[in-house]
Amino acid sequence: MFTSVEDAPSVFPFGTIDFSFNKLKGAVPLVVADFLDYSNNEFSEIPLNYTLNLSSNMQTGYLNLSSNMLTGEIPSSICEVNISTLDLSYNNLSGSIPSFIIGSRDMWVLSLRGNKFSGILSHHINRSCSLVILDLNSNNLEGNLPRSLTNCKDLVFLDIGNNHIGGTFPIALGKLPNLQVIILRSNRFYGTLGFPPNFGKMNSLFPLLKIIDLSSNNFNGSLPPLWFKNFKSMQNSSSDAILGGVSIFEINGISVTIMDKGAQMTLENNLPNLMTLIDLSSNRFIGDIPETIGELKEIKALNLSHNFFTGSIPNLLGHLMQIESLYLSWNQLSGEIPQELISLTSLSVLNLSFNHLVGRIPQSNQFSTFQNSSFEGNPGLCGVPLSKLCNVQILGNNSTSPSTKPAKKMTAIVLLCLFIGLGFGTGFGIAIVILVIKRARNAHATR
C-alpha cells in the first residue's frame, strides 16, 4: 500500500527494483536500476528526461510501467539507453508511436496494448530492428501494416488486433523465419488470402506459425489449400520453437489473448509452449473447407464460424486428434456429419449450429457429451441430443415416406389375391353391394 517513493542517489544503482502492485502516484520516480517493475500502480507521468537517470551500462534493461494511469506521449528519451523490454500496456498514453521505438536495435520486447495510440505506423523500420515481440493490441491505429516490418527478422510474436488497420493480408510476413503468432483480429483487412504471382516458394511460408487469428475482418474468397500446407509447425510436433535468443526472463509479463471455447482466453508467460490455433471467424470466406486442414495434426482449436462456407464437412477433419474446440457454426454447410469425427476424443467443444446439415447425429464417444446448442438451426438433423427422432423422414413435399410405399404395395397384392380366391361370382356380388351403398349415401346427401 505504498503511496510514494523518494528519489535514490544515482551513485548507488540497483540491479533490480520491484515496486509493483502498490498505490504509488504522481511522476515515475528517478531510480537507477537495470530491472524496474512499476506495474499496477497509479503513476500518471513519465518525466521527459526519465531515462537519463537509468544505468548507462544496461545491456538487458527491463522497464515495466503497465497498468498505471500514464497519459500523454512517449518521451523521446525512452530509447537513449539500452532497454530490451519496454511494457507500457494498459495506460492512457496517446499520440503516434515513435518510429525509433520499433526499429531500435536494442529492443526485443515492446508492449503498448490497451492505450489510445493513433495515427499510422512508421513505414521506415530499420534493418537493425531486433524486435522479438510486438504487441499493439487495442489502440486506435490506422493505415496499413508497414512492409518494412519484415526487417525485424527475429520477430516471433505480432499482435495488432483491435485497431483500425486495413489493407490486404500481409503475406510478406510469411518469410519471417521465426514468426509463431500473428493476430490481426478486429481490424479492417480485406481481400483474399491467395498468393501473389512470383512470390517465391509457396511451401516455405510461416514454417513455425502456431497461432493465426484473422477473425472479424473483411477477408473474402475461398481458402487456398496450399495455405495450410505451409504451416509445418501445426503438422509436426517436432518443430522447434525459436525465440530469437530471448530467454523466458525477458518475455516475462507478455500475454496472448485469444478466443477459445467460446470465451476470451489469456496465455501468459508461456510463449515457447503456445497452443496451436486458427481463427478465421466472422469474415466472408466462401467455397469448400480445404481438406488440407486435416493435415494440421497438432492444432488445438479451429474456428471457421460466421462465414459463407458451402459443401460438406471434410472427412479429414477426423485426423485432428489433438483438437479441443471446433467451431463451424453459421455457415452454409450441407450433407451429413462425418462419422470420422467420433474419433476426436480430445474434443470438448463442438458447434455445428445454423447450417444445412442432415441425417443422424453420431452417437459415439465425445458426441454423447454435446448439448442441443451444438446442432440447433439444422432442420435436417435428427437424433440425440435433439428432440427430433430419426425413424420418420419427410422428403420434399411428398407426404408419403419411402418406408410406407412397400406396405401399400403389399396390401394391394393381398386384396387382389383375395378377390381371385373368392371367385368371380362372389366378387361381382360385393361390387353390387358397394354400388347400392354409394347410391344410398348420395340420395341422403341431396335431401
Residues of the chain with pLDDT under 50: 55, 58-59, 239-253, 259-261, 263-270, 272, 393-447
> Domain coordinates of the chain in residue numbers?
14-382, 411-446
Neighbours of 422 (CB within 10 A): 12
Query: pLDDT by residue (tens digit) across 67-83?
Result: 999 999 988 777 667 78
Q: Compute the distance between CA of residue 34 and CA of residue 83 in angstroms, rounded to an integer.
A: 9
The pLDDT assigned to 83 comes to: 83
Q: Compute the distance between CA of residue 87 and CA of residue 114 in angstroms, rounded to an integer.
A: 11
Helix, strand or coil, per DSSP, at residue 40: coil
Q: Compute the distance between CA of residue 202 and CA of residue 170 in angstroms, rounded to an integer.
A: 14
The pLDDT assigned to 331 comes to: 98
Assessment of whether the complete model's pTM goes beyond 0.85: no
Query: pLDDT by residue (tens digit) across 178-192?
Result: 999 999 999 999 999
Q: How far does the chain reach from its first CA to its final CA, in angstroms?
A: 102
The CATH class of the 14-382 domain is alpha beta
Q: Which amino acid is at 103?
A: G
Specify the residue for cell string 453459421.
Answer: 330
Q: Compute the distance between CA of residue 240 and CA of residue 193 in angstroms, rounded to an integer.
A: 26
The pLDDT assigned to 33 comes to: 79
The pLDDT assigned to 438 comes to: 44
The pLDDT assigned to 430 comes to: 40
Contact (Cβ atoms closer than 8 angstroms) between residue 198 and residue 220? no
Angle CA 213–66–162, to nearest 5: 25
Query: pLDDT by residue (tens digit) across 357-412?
Result: 999 999 888 899 999 999 999 999 999 999 899 975 444 443 344 444 444 444 44
**Where does 229-323 show beta strands of DSSP type E?**
255-260, 263-268, 277-279, 284-287, 301-303, 308-309
Closest to 401 in 3D by CA, of 411, 410, 391: 391
Provide DSSP, 66-96. -SS--EEPPPGGGGSS-EEEEE--SSEEEEP
